[in-house]
Chain A
């Protein structure tokens, strides 16, 4: 088994558009919970991870310039991450296919955790 990080990316506009009416939001929520549960039941979740605030600061370069961000220039923002266990990258990608963020035009970035000591 190898570890992967799912980074959930979406634009502010896309995630708002996916919200809609209370009933639609409830449906989105149920889809998320069901997807997470299904991954957990199959033993693929190492760490559910955390949601991230959209607003924060960007500290940049050796001058350490501080700007508000990342929302100003970023096309899509990481809204959260999950640590996944899968056989290989192909399987991890397969697991990401059911992620509800994709329905709203969002992105799941699947990144293998670098293995050390090998």
Chain B
């Protein structure tokens, strides 16, 4: 029997989440150790006995046995989850109590509980995302560092601080409490979107890493909408957005491995399944009065998905969606994207006019794609020399080698000059 791709990583998240509920938040490290023990066991046994029919169940059952041992040994030495107190009073009660704690329906919500706990309001968003990747997605410190293109030391520091806050939170987030759930849900959406963006726009030069981050964000979002309280229009809209963007991933890099702009992508390589799923989720999001930025961004992505090529795109609709987005979540970057859409519809002169009119335009001064947009529009106006200057400015601001390479090519595209 073949191992499912990333089985251990996925199971690590699931098992740590369940064990943390059982041991209590302050014993996260213990939960991680017990999980590691269960994996070691698998590594000792499976080569001889073969992979079990249900590897996930095998790992969870092994973790359960370890948990019973630990509870037996530690129940007097440690402060365990307070709600366990009564159950741990005697040996006879312990095993059936743990059995109860590992019931399928009980462990089903653990990942969700953990997801919400990671989005603790006292944690900065970047720490929330790192914590999710580490605890819930089973990424090692090195792998998180690789995903964020950061150093091991920096990530280790970020994670250990986050874990301290986490452990100090007394208990896991209680997902049964509807008002609390609704109050923290936007932060969870935000963190998932950040995680996705790290994969989609992030700096990791390895496309495999980026695809994995996007996939993890999609997986966690699915856990969210499978829960009655999590299945909100905003959750569906966010999932729709991520699916529609993820559909483009296969075309984002050209045959030579270079970044390819939306306009130049080979749309036949867009993933039809993800596009269909995104559309379905977008339809589901269209209930109730709530209109979030995810709704609008997903709608924009859906317009792109429905166009066979850049010329066929309904730019009028896209401009109007950006108008809506500017009312919900105004930002110079949104305004810039709107201006680019205007240019597609009404020509580069109008686009440059719109860019000139962006409030807070100075905040774009460090954003490479601001200068890249100016460059594209100038190039389209036939001013190669000016365009080249803009692309050079953009290249100087590139945040990673892929962006640098992409912008370098744009500089070279202006080589003909005026």
Interface of A with B (CB < 8 Å)?
A: 15-16, 19-26, 28-30, 32-33, 36, 48-51, 79-80, 82
Contacts and interface: CB of A to CB of B under 8 A. Distances in A.
B140 A29 contact: no
B136 to A, nearest CB: 12
B51 A33 contact: yes
Interface of B: 3, 6-9, 11-12, 36, 39-40, 42-51, 138-140, 142-143
Nearest to A26: B8
A33 B46 contact: yes
A25 B47 contact: no
Given A19-B36, A23-B9, A23-B138, A29 B143 contact: no
Contacts of B43: 19, 25, 28-29, 32
A21 B142 CA distance: 9
Contacts of A82: 48
Contact of B47 (A20, A21, A32): A32
4 nearest A-B residue pairs (beta carbon): A21-B140, A22-B8, A32-B47, A26-B8
Nearest to A81: B48
Nearest to A27: B8
A26 B139 contact: no
A20 B44 contact: no
The DSSP consensus for interface residues of chain A is helix
A79 B51 CA distance: 18
A76 to B, nearest CB: 14
A28 B8 CA distance: 11
A26 to B, nearest CB: 4
B45 to A, nearest CB: 5
Contacts of B42: 25, 29
Contact of A21 (B7, B48, B138): B138
A33 B47 contact: yes
A23 B48 contact: no
A110 to B, nearest CB: 17
Nearest to A82: B48
B47 A15 contact: no
Nearest to B15: A22
A13 B9 CA distance: 22
B40 A16 contact: yes
A32 B47 CA distance: 6
Nearest to B12: A22
A24 B142 CA distance: 11
Given A19-B39, A21-B140, A26 B44 contact: no
